[in-house]
Amino acid sequence: MKKKFALIGHNIKHSLSPFIHNEIFKATKNLKNSYNLLELAPNEIEKFTSYFKIYNGFNVTMPYKTYMYENIKNIDYNAKKFKSVNTIIKLKDGNFKGYNTDSYGFLKSLLHFKINLKNNVLLLGLGGAGRTIAVNSAFYNCKLTVAIRKKSMKKAYKILQEIIPKKKLKDVDLVDIEKIPIKHYNIVINATPIGMFYNFDNMPITPNLLRCCKNAVDLIYAPKETKFLKTAKKFKIKAVNGLYMLLMQATKSNEIFTGMKINSKIISEIYKKLKKI
């Protein structure tokens, strides 16, 4: 039986999700399945439910992960924990269910690149993916600094109170992204869109602050090397883009879509192809 899947988002023409999922379908002999992009402007997102007549499931990217969490009634435990949905499937009864695979992808990426989630962590941004990183940092007993724009401070504080366990909040600092304390950070993670193709000549923090970091992780994968990561490399800082995280969260999403486990050999082969694109 043919099944159709898609990525919902805005400004997603550079997305590699269709390539990954269609490669998985080929490798797992699910050749009747297909995956494509579904570009929805902010004034169109409310219509997303109408697409379930055509599609069996979706991935969700910026800026709609929190919107999906707030508008889907049936939510998986992890998505509830992070208050962010990046995977949706249509159930047999015609209803749909939301999941979060960003956390899985993020942790698998850190493991792959031998980066430990510990000590001082600087998180830039608190959108859908940023929330999963904040929760994981708290879970691993990190001293977390979350940096966001001043105008979003009140909203971000409320979000942190909702997603971080009370006993862990004492280890979380919320700061203006223009006034980040200069100190040693084990990891700095860019979970903002600053550095993407339409904003490629900017970086979210100053080079002077980046010098204080041992590892730099950018969730952006297009371009593969943002100005943020280029600068980190100049300072001999370990620099990792979001490509492996993308692959691993997509792999987990695909397993939810099809119910089939994807073996490590398939994942390795697709990653080799992704790095050449």
Q: What is the DSSP string of 65-103?
A: HHHHHHH-SEE-HHHHHHT---EEEE-TTS-EEEE--HH
Q: What is the pLDDT of residues 20-48, one digit of tens each?
A: 999 999 999 988 999 999 999 999 988 88
Number of CB atoms found within 10 A of residue 277's CB: 10
One domain, residues 155 and 214: yes
Q: At what angle do helices 17-27 and 264-276 cross, to 10 degrees?
A: 140
One domain, residues 17 and 135: no
Task: Specify the CATH number for the domain of residue 48.
Answer: 3.40.50.10860
**Per-residue pLDDT, 8:** 96
One domain, residues 152 and 213: yes
Q: Which positions ≥6 away from 43 have C-beta within 8 Å?
A: none
Task: Indicate the average pLDDT of the chain.
Answer: 94
**What percentage of the chain reaches a pLDDT higher than 70?**
99
Mean pLDDT confidence for 201-213:
94
**Per-residue pLDDT, 116:** 97
Q: What is the pLDDT of residues 183-192, one digit of tens each?
A: 999 999 999 9
One domain, residues 76 and 111: no
One domain, residues 132 and 234: yes
Task: Specify the CATH number for the domain of residue 202.
Answer: 3.40.50.720
Asked whether the beta carbons of 61 and 31 are under 8 A apart, the reply is no
Please tell me the distance from the alpha carbon of residue 87 to that of residue 105, in angstroms, as a whole number: 13
One domain, residues 231 and 112: yes
Mean pLDDT confidence for 201-223:
95
One domain, residues 145 and 218: yes
pLDDT band at 153 (very low <50, low <70, confident <90, very high): very high
213 pLDDT above the threshold of 80: yes
Q: Which positions ≥6 away from 21 have C-beta within 8 Å?
A: 5, 35, 250, 253, 254
One domain, residues 135 and 186: yes
Local structure of residue 120 (DSSP, 8 states): E
pLDDT band at 198 (very low <50, low <70, confident <90, very high): low
Q: Which residues are catalytic?
A: 65
pLDDT band at 53 (very low <50, low <70, confident <90, very high): confident
pTM, 2 dp: 0.94
How many independent structural domains does the chain possess? 2
98 pLDDT above the threshold of 90: yes
One domain, residues 126 and 219: yes
Mean pLDDT confidence for 95-122:
97
141: left (phi over 0), alpha (psi -120 to 50) or beta: left
**Per-residue pLDDT, 31:** 87
One domain, residues 145 and 228: yes
Structural domain boundaries, residue 261: 4-100+249-276
**Per-residue pLDDT, 49:** 83
Q: Which positions ≥6 away from 151 have C-beta within 8 Å?
A: none
92 pLDDT above the threshold of 90: no
One domain, residues 96 and 110: no
Mean pLDDT confidence for 64-83:
92
One domain, residues 115 and 84: no
